[in-house]
């Protein structure tokens, strides 16, 4: 039931005024549907859903809860079980996109449980597709292959369990900075998330459940680390060497992601340290941190999560800060039983919530790329947050950034500042001069005795270590090709490396939204390429050099005026100060660019004709 269907004569003067406000506010919904990810067809139904959904939000905000409920029921009424067009952020079932929901809701799995996959013998000598990495991107690719009926593939995983970053990030307090309704596959929503921001055990359990629900177990090869992959032009195949043998593949999909290799700075004397040393990504859960004097090097997103978790347990905490991050409140809460039941019973409500989160985060791109003055309200919020939680003026000054918000990754935390202000914690802004056997000496010559050093220094995102293991035509390593910076067409295809598709490659990470959206778009693109090759009987496809160069040049031009290029040092930039990590625009724009495989931009090599009998 739409607000326009209500008789004006049944409304009081107050209600008439509210109706006028609602009608005015709903005008943008005529074009809002065009911003939502999905195929162009079925857009009228999407407009109607957005229209009714915005009615519900505005009515609820104005106190008309009854009428808001009617609008929500209207959304549900339009959501026929067989109608995939009404699923926000999900293209049509018969298009190049994910489809098919599990029959039962996902349930969180404890990260301490036994791995979901057992050791499997080495793969067959030849397969159609090899997927490297069993994180979000790799599993998404595998699921899509299964849905298309392509069964001749394997997923290589160096560890003995799936999950990628979320398998390894077992440090205390590990959780996503993306709200749970958006941090999941668009084709497999999770109604049972327990909090606004999902924790590491929940995310790991979700991925295990996805692998089981979509029948990936027999395709997974845990304990098979890819040591090298080399393209053989004569046979138009990739030769893949793993820690458990070799195999060949027609197509290689690299899904190791930008957050697979921890970054550890070189510090004089670190090798002399007698205590424990580890990175947040290699946390040892068996290590007892109680009563220790701990030095934390780095103040990134991971450090902001584990510092509040360990601060009450340690005797002394020294946080070595190079640059203070921008920190905004983390509005996290437990999901109610009613809320989870509503999401499970009425999937449209969760999809509406997902779309709301998506659009809100997508709107941040305006300040990040178009007009940095639009970031001032968020900067005010961050400064207010700091002022309220840190009373000491000197400490507050040390925690105040001197660069534009968004230039480095924004931290979401409501507990980081309180942990820093505790009596057993000290913020150290002086650089580290050297590490000794049982201490750290800073540039101001102060020596601090420590038992443990923990690095919260992020990952090698701009310099992907996997590039050293890939060799294209003429045996050239990708690391050498990328010597002056990582480059790829649509962050997916690389000139000189036929039949190679990289997920979450250069300039694909979203600076404002969930990178799972771009990863799914890349999966669609790679899948469409495989379908094209089958239809055209093509042996190999390779992006044209001029096409890649034009794309890379355009991306760098668009990045030049963004907040990410405003002067700070961040993990978005490589050693030359070039941003090879982020996509400089709407995720919708990226999805549109990757909607179909544009074979006209590729050199297509036909299969040799079979000799007549």
Q: What is the mean pLDDT of residues 425-453?
A: 95
- Least confident interval from 21-25, 359-363, 601-605: 21-25
120 lies in a domain? no
Which pLDDT tens digit goes with each residue over 518-529? 999 999 999 999
pLDDT for res 102: 37
Q: What is the mean pLDDT of residues 312-317?
A: 97
Domain match, 487 and 568 both: yes
- Least confident interval from 65-79, 80-94, 457-471: 80-94
Say how many C-beta atoms besides its own lie within 10 A of residue 405's C-beta: 23
pLDDT for res 258: 80
pLDDT for res 86: 29
Which pLDDT tens digit goes with each residue over 542-564? 999 999 999 999 999 999 989 99
Q: How many domains does the chain have?
A: 3
- What is the rounded CA–CA span in Å between residue 551 and residue 604? 19
172 lies in a domain? no
Q: Determine what percent of the chain is predicted with pLDDT higher than 70.
A: 78
Asked whether the beta carbons of 154 and 276 are under 8 A apart, the reply is: no
556 lies in a domain? yes
Asked whether the beta carbons of 130 and 251 are under 8 A apart, the reply is: yes
- What is the rounded CA–CA span in Å between residue 240 and residue 247? 5
Confidence of residue 393 (pLDDT cuts 50, 70, 90): very high
Q: What is the mean pLDDT of residues 264-283?
A: 92
**DSSP tag of 35:** G
pLDDT at 201 over 90: yes
Domain match, 410 and 498 both: no
121 lies in a domain? no
Domain match, 374 and 500 both: no
Domain match, 415 and 472 both: no
Confidence of residue 567 (pLDDT cuts 50, 70, 90): confident
Domain match, 286 and 404 both: yes
- Least confident interval from 100-114, 146-160, 161-175, 406-420: 100-114
pLDDT for res 96: 33
DSSP 196-255: SS-BHHHHHHHHHHHHHHTT-GGGEEET--EEEEEEETTTTEEEEEETTEEEEEEEEEE-
577 lies in a domain? yes
Confidence of residue 447 (pLDDT cuts 50, 70, 90): very high
93 lies in a domain? no
560 lies in a domain? yes
Residue 403's domain comprises 270-325+363-455
Confidence of residue 265 (pLDDT cuts 50, 70, 90): confident
Domain match, 142 and 58 both: no
Asked whether the beta carbons of 435 and 427 are under 8 A apart, the reply is: no
Domain match, 472 and 550 both: yes
- What is the rounded CA–CA span in Å between residue 152 and residue 126? 9
| Phi then psi dihedrals of residue 364, to 5 deg | -65, -20
Domain match, 377 and 477 both: no
- Domain stops at, among 427, 455, 483: 455
CATH number at residue 237: 3.50.50.60
Rg value, the chain, Cα = 26
- Domain stops at, among 426, 455, 484: 455
pLDDT at 452 over 90: yes
Higher pLDDT, 575 or 366: 366
pLDDT for res 1: 41
- Domain stops at, among 86, 117, 146: 86
Q: What is the mean pLDDT of residues 361-371?
A: 88
pLDDT at 2 over 60: no
Domain match, 404 and 531 both: no
Domain match, 450 and 468 both: no
Nearest CA among 214, 211, 216, 209 for reference residue 108: 209
174 lies in a domain? no
Domain match, 314 and 438 both: yes
- Partners of residue 439 on adjacent β-strands: 449
Domain match, 61 and 149 both: no
């Amino acid at each position: 039931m739409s607000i326009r269907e209500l008789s004006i004569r049944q409304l009081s003067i107050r209600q008439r005024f509210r109706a006028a406000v609602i009608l005015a506010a709903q005008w943008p919904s005529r074009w809002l549907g065009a911003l939502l990810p999905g195929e162009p067809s079925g857009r009228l139904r999407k407009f109607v859903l957005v229209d009714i959904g915005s009615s519900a939000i505005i009515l609820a905000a104005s106190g008309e809860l009854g009428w808001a409920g009617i609008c929500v029921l209207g959304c549900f009424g339009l959501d026929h079980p067989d109608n995939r067009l009404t699923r926000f952020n999900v293209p049509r079932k018969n298009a190049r996109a994910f489809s098919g929901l599990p029959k039962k809701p996902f349930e969180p799995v404890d990260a301490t449980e036994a791995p979901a996959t057992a050791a499997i013998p080495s793969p067959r000598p030849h397969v159609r597709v090899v997927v490297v990495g069993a994180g979000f991107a790799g599993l998404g690719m595998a699921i899509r292959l299964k849905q298309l009926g392509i069964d001749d593939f394997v997923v290589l995983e160096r560890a003995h369990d799936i999950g990628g970053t979320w398998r390894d990030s077992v440090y205390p307090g590990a959780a996503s900075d993306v709200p749970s309704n958006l941090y999941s596959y668009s084709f497999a929503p999770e109604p049972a998330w327990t909090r606004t921001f999902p924790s590491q055990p929940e995310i790991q359990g979700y991925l295990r459940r996805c692998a089981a629900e979509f029948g990936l177990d027999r395709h997974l090869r845990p304990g098979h680390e890819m040591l090298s992959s080399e393209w053989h032009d004569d046979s138009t195949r990739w030769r893949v060497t793993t820690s458990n043998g070799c195999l060949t593949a027609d197509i290689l999909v690299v899904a190791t992601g930008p957050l697979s290799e921890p970054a550890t700075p070189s510090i004089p004397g670190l090798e002399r340290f007698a205590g424990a040393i580890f990175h947040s990504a290699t946390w040892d859960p068996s290590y007892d941190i109680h009563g220790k004097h701990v030095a934390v090097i780095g103040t990134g997103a991971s450090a902001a999560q584990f510092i509040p978790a360990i601060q009450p347990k340690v005797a002394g905490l020294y946080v070595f800060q190079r640059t203070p991050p921008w920190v905004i409140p983390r509005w996290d809460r437990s999901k109610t039983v009613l809320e989870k039941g509503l999401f499970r019973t009425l999937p449209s409500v969760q999809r509406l919530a997902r779309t709301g989160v998506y659009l809100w985060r997508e709107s941040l791109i305006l300040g990040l790329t178009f007009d940095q003055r639009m970031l001032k309200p968020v900067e005010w919020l961050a400064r207010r947050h700091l002022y309220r939680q840190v009373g000491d003026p000197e400490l507050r000054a040390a925690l105040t950034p001197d660069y534009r918000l968004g230039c480095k990754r924004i931290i979401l935390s409501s507990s980081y500042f309180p942990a820093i202000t505790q009596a057993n914690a000290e913020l150290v802004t002086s650089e580290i001069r050297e590490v000794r056997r049982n201490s750290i000496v800073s540039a101001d010559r102060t020596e601090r005795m420590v038992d443990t050093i923990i690095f919260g220094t992020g990952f090698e995102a701009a310099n992907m270590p996997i590039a050293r293991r890939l060799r294209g035509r003429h045996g050239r390593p990708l690391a050498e090709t990328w010597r002056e910076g990582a480059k790829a067409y649509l962050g997916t295809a690389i000139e000189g490396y036929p039949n190679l598709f990289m997920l979450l490659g250069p300039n694909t990470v979203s600076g404002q939204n969930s990178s799972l959206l771009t990863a799914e778009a890349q999966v669609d693109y790679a899948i469409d390429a495989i379908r094209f090759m089958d239809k055209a009987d093509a042996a190999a496809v390779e992006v044209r050099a001029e096409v890649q160069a034009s794309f890379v040049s355009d991306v760098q031009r668009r990045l030049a005026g963004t907040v990410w290029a405003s002067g700070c040092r961040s993990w978005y930039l490589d050693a030359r100060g070039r941003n090879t990590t982020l996509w400089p625009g709407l995720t919708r724009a990226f999805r549109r660019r990757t909607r179909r495989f544009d074979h006209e931009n590729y050199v297509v090599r036909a299969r040799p004709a079979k000799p007549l009998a």
